[in-house]
Structure 1
Amino acid sequence: MDDDTALASYRSDLPGPLGWIDTGIARLEAFLLAAGVLLMAANTIANVVGRYGFGMSIQSTEEVNRILIILITFAGISYAARHGRHIRMSAIFDMLPGPGRKALMITIALVTAGFMFVLAWYSWGYLATTFSRGRILPSLQIPLWWTLVWVPAGFFMTGLQYTLTAIKNLLEKDIYLSTNVLEGYSDDSDQEV
């Protein structure tokens, strides 16, 4: 994949500021997921080499991997929403005519966005509570709340993604599962446009 193709996959076709937001979220998701997976692999490999090669484990490996799992999970829910990869129960949706499917997709996207924003709000409250308690991780000696920052951020980014999906469906004549994935079935596992 050349640089133009890689950059094009991060460009939104939504108009104006909505496109900028969509593109920014896509780049942030890609960076967080790639960095999280690579760091977790490097951390795990270093620990295995240390344990079996030198007879000493890295003390904070489990804590670092726990932090990275939280990061990957909550950046991943936004990424999955962007690529239309969340589980869908589509029996009723598939039976509806085009306008009904479009209205249902907009409703689903808006309701899901609402739930994601509510979860972001509650997880922000949990983060604030954790911050006020002043707990620290035993091995890394960093505040526990630092590890939880990704939870409200991931829910918020997912809520934005579903909101942008609803807007995309309001602006376009086709039905979109996300801002760049058309509704429908194909033999390809990747249906991006």
Structure 2
Amino acid sequence: MLEGDDIDDSQYVSGLPGPLGVLDAVIARLEAVLLAIGVMLMAANTVANVVGRYVLGRSIYFSEELNQALIILITFAGISYAARHGRHIRMSAFFDALPFRLRKVMMIVITVVTAAGMFLLAWYSFDYVLTQASRGRQLPALQIPQWWIIVWVPLGFFLTGVQYALTAVKNVIDKDIWLSTNTLEGYDDSREEEV
């Protein structure tokens, strides 16, 4: 980083030991950069298109295609980001009613199964990207290969799978229940452990 940068590196510190912590921190930085760039480019593109349309009387001809590509980027970088912060929708009625130890086991099972599902989706979406690349189609306005804008799909699924796998590891090595590598479950079970 350059001297004087105001980026807070504490958000990239992982609670995992050794190489897993480094991997977690690298993924956190990658997610943040992809999301920031995607949102800023989408905002700039949209504002420029509106100004062009209503002030200059001409739209940017590739604006819609660019925003489609950025929506895909933001969505699939965002699923990994949401997993990192424990923000995915959870159906937790039964889970919440379980005692601490059973919730702990269930969280490990849930994160392992979800990681496996994400890796499977990453594999299928990677195959789809290769199929699209072999077809040679181009976007009409941007004149770039169509597969370039969907390459974020397998990457997003893969990073989400890694995030859930890291959460499973965190739950195995730590005494608490973790929704993600840095989000602790919001229950106080100290009384249950004493019983």
**TM-score category (smaller protein):** over 0.9
Per the TM alignment, residue 13 of structure 1 is displaced from its structure 2 partner at its CA by 1.9
Per the TM alignment, residue 43 of structure 1 is displaced from its structure 2 partner at its CA by 0.2
Where structure 2 has 5 or more consecutive residues not aligned to the other structure, the ranges are 189-195
- Structure 1 pair 185–103 and aligned structure 2 pair: CA distance change class (3 A): closer
- Correspondence for 2:75 among 73, 76, 99: 73
2:58 is paired with a residue of what secondary structure? Answer: coil
Where structure 1 has 5 or more consecutive residues not aligned to the other structure, the ranges are 187-193
1:74-153 aligned at under 5 Å gives the runs: 74-153=76-155
The TM-score with structure 1 as length reference comes to 0.93
Provide, for residues 77-117 of structure 1, a one-character-per-residue CA deviation record: whole Å limited to 9, x for no partner. 00000000000011111111111000000000000000000
- The residue number in structure 2 matching 1:28 is 30
- Correspondence for 1:12 among 14, 37, 57: 14
Per the TM alignment, residue 11 of structure 1 is displaced from its structure 2 partner at its CA by 1.0
Separation in structure 2 between the aligned mates of residue 16 and residue 3 of structure 1, nearest angstrom: 26
- The residue number in structure 2 matching 1:176 is 178
Separation in structure 2 between the aligned mates of residue 47 and residue 155 of structure 1, nearest angstrom: 31
Separation in structure 1 between the aligned mates of residue 7 and residue 29 of structure 2, nearest angstrom: 14
- Correspondence for 1:45 among 28, 44, 47: 47
**Structure 2 residue identity aligned to 1:95:** A
Q: Hey, which bits of structure 1, 4+ residues long, moved more than 6 A?
A: 2-5
Separation in structure 2 between the aligned mates of residue 33 and residue 138 of structure 1, nearest angstrom: 26
Task: Decide which structure has the larger Cα Rg and report it.
Answer: 2
Provide, for residues 45-103 of structure 1, a one-character-per-residue CA deviation record: whole Å limited to 9, x for no partner. 00001111110000000000000000000000000000000000111111111110000
- Structure 1 pair 5–60 and aligned structure 2 pair: CA distance change class (3 A): closer
Provide, for residues 127-166 of structure 1, a one-character-per-residue CA deviation record: whole Å limited to 9, x for no partner. 0000000000000000001001100000000000000000
**Structure 2 residue identity aligned to 1:129:** T
**Structure 2 residue identity aligned to 1:114:** A
Per the TM alignment, residue 185 of structure 1 is displaced from its structure 2 partner at its CA by 5.8
Q: Which stretch of the first structure deviates more once superposed, 140-149 or 176-185?
A: 176-185
The TM-score with structure 2 as length reference comes to 0.92
- The residue number in structure 2 matching 1:189 is none
Provide, for residues 166-185 of structure 1, a one-character-per-residue CA deviation record: whole Å limited to 9, x for no partner. 00000100000000000126
Per the TM alignment, residue 31 of structure 1 is displaced from its structure 2 partner at its CA by 0.5
- Structure 1 pair 31–109 and aligned structure 2 pair: CA distance change class (3 A): same
- The residue number in structure 1 matching 2:64 is 62
Per the TM alignment, residue 3 of structure 1 is displaced from its structure 2 partner at its CA by 6.6
Task: Count residues with an aligned counterpart.
Answer: 185
Separation in structure 2 between the aligned mates of residue 38 and residue 3 of structure 1, nearest angstrom: 18
